[in-house]
Amino acid sequence: MTDRDKEERPVLMKENIVLNCKAATPEEAIINAGSLLLKSGYIKSGYIKGMLSRDQNFSVYLGNMLAIAHGEKKARDQILRTGISVLIYPEGIDWHGNQVKVVMGLAAIGDEHMEILMHCANIFSDRKQVERLVRCRDKEKVYQMFNSL
């Protein structure tokens, strides 16, 4: 990847949105979210281990059917640039006793995660909006929802 590729890469790329995922375990969902970030050049492979470890030590479930998988602080050196992935599981995942239907993978440099989290708080504060997101079958609409990141 060239420096120019790094500069032009948005926080969310359409290929990092996966709709209608089949039910999985939290571990499988984290690996899937992390693999998208890896494939797109946002992280090095070691970050996925940090994502799994974070959820084992402190659940990444945030409420309203959302889990944001992100790595432990010690995995920050595995982040190449800020990016997210979005996976939608309409059937839901049992996430340590909570139902999750949207899994986001998050890798952020410095404090860049704050703006992303604030935007996600706006999206996920309205249960009806979350339900529309989960039912959505149009990747473009999902992309537009997150496009302001």
Q: Which are the catalytic amino acids?
A: 70
Q: Record the tokens describing residue 16, joined without a space.
A: 């990092």
Rounded distance, CA 127 to CA 53, Å?
29
Please return the burial class of 149, using the count of CB atoms within 10 Å of its CB with bins 0-12, 13-18 and 19+: middle
Q: How far is CA 3 from CA 13, 42, 95, in A?
A: 17, 13, 38
